[in-house]
Amino acid sequence: MSTSDRMGGNSTLLWLSTVPWLLLVAIAAPLLLAVWRSQTYPTRVLVGILLVPILCSLLVALWAPLLLVLAIVDGVILVIAAIDYITLPVASRGGRGTRTAESRKTSGVGEAEGEAGGSQSDEPSAPAGRLAAERKLPRTTSINAATPSELTLRNGTRRTFRGFVRDDLPEGIEAEPAVHPVLLPPLSKATYTARVTPTRRGVIDFQRVYLETFSALRLWKRQIVLPVASRLNVYPDMKQMAEYALLARTDRLSLIGVRRTRRIGQDSDFERLRDYTPDDNYRHIDWRSTARRHKLTVRQFQSDQSQRIMLLLDCGRMMTNERAGMSLLDHSLNAALMMAYVALSQGDSVGMLCFSDRVHAYLPPRGGRNQLNRLLQAGFDQFPRLVESRYDQAFLHLSNHCKRRTLVALMTSVIDEVNAGQVVDYLGNLVGRHLPLGLLIRDRQIFDAADHPSDDPTRLYRAAVAAEILCWRDQLIHDLRHRGSLVLDVFPEEMTAPLVNEYLRIKADHLL
Task: Return d(Cα 85, Cα 36) in angstroms, integer.
Answer: 14
Q: Are 184 and 212 in contact (CB under 8 A)?
A: no
Task: Return d(Cα 389, Cα 321) in angstroms, integer.
Answer: 15
Buried b (16+ CB within 10 A) or exposed e, 340-355: bbbbbebebbbbbbbb
Task: Return d(Cα 398, Cα 383) in angstroms, integer.
Answer: 21
Task: Return d(Cα 397, Cα 213) in angstroms, integer.
Answer: 56
Q: Which DSSP state fits 64?
A: T
Which amino acid appears at position 327 of this protein?
S
Tens-digit pLDDT string for the chain (512 aa): 454 444 444 454 444 455 555 655 665 666 666 666 677 878 888 888 877 776 766 666 666 666 677 777 777 877 888 888 888 777 653 333 333 333 443 333 333 333 333 433 334 345 556 788 999 999 888 888 888 999 999 988 888 888 999 998 888 899 999 999 999 888 888 999 999 999 888 899 999 999 998 888 888 888 888 899 999 998 887 766 666 655 554 555 554 455 555 554 445 566 678 888 776 777 888 898 898 888 889 887 665 457 899 999 999 999 998 888 788 999 999 889 988 988 898 889 999 999 999 999 999 999 888 898 899 889 988 999 999 999 999 999 999 999 889 999 999 999 888 889 999 999 999 998 999 999 999 988 888 888 876 777 777 888 888 889 999 999 999 999 999 999 999 999 888 888 988 898 888 888 87
The pLDDT score that the predictor gives to residue 121 is: 38
Phi and psi angles of residue 431, each rounded to the nearest 5 degrees, phi first: -60, 130
DSSP codes, 184-231: E-TTEEEEEEEEEEESS-EEEEEEEEEEEEE-TTSSEEEEEEEEEEEE
How crowded is residue 112: how many other Cβ atoms within 10 Å of its Cβ? 18
The reported pTM is 0.68
State the distance between the two ends of the chain, measured CA to CA, in whole angstroms: 116
Positions of E strands within 57-117: none
CA 86 vs CA 135, 219, 221: distances in Å? 30, 11, 12
Q: Cα–Cα–Cα angle for 507, 329, 436, nearest 5°?
A: 30
Task: Return d(Cα 427, Cα 436) in angstroms, integer.
Answer: 6
Q: Are 89 and 160 in contact (CB under 8 A)?
A: yes
The pLDDT score that the predictor gives to residue 236 is: 84
Q: Are 179 and 206 in contact (CB under 8 A)?
A: no
Question: Which sign, positive or negative, has the C-alpha torsion 326, 332, 333, 338?
Answer: positive
Task: Return d(Cα 272, Cα 289) in angstroms, integer.
Answer: 12
Q: Which DSSP state fits 256?
A: G
The pLDDT score that the predictor gives to residue 360 is: 94
Q: What share of the chain is helix, strand, coil (3-state, %, to 5)?
A: 40, 30, 35
Q: What pairing do the DSSP bridges indicate for beta strands 326-327 and 349-355?
A: unpaired
Burial label for 232, CB within 10 Å (0-12, 13-18, 19+), is: buried
The pLDDT score that the predictor gives to residue 120 is: 38
Q: Which DSSP state fits 42?
A: E
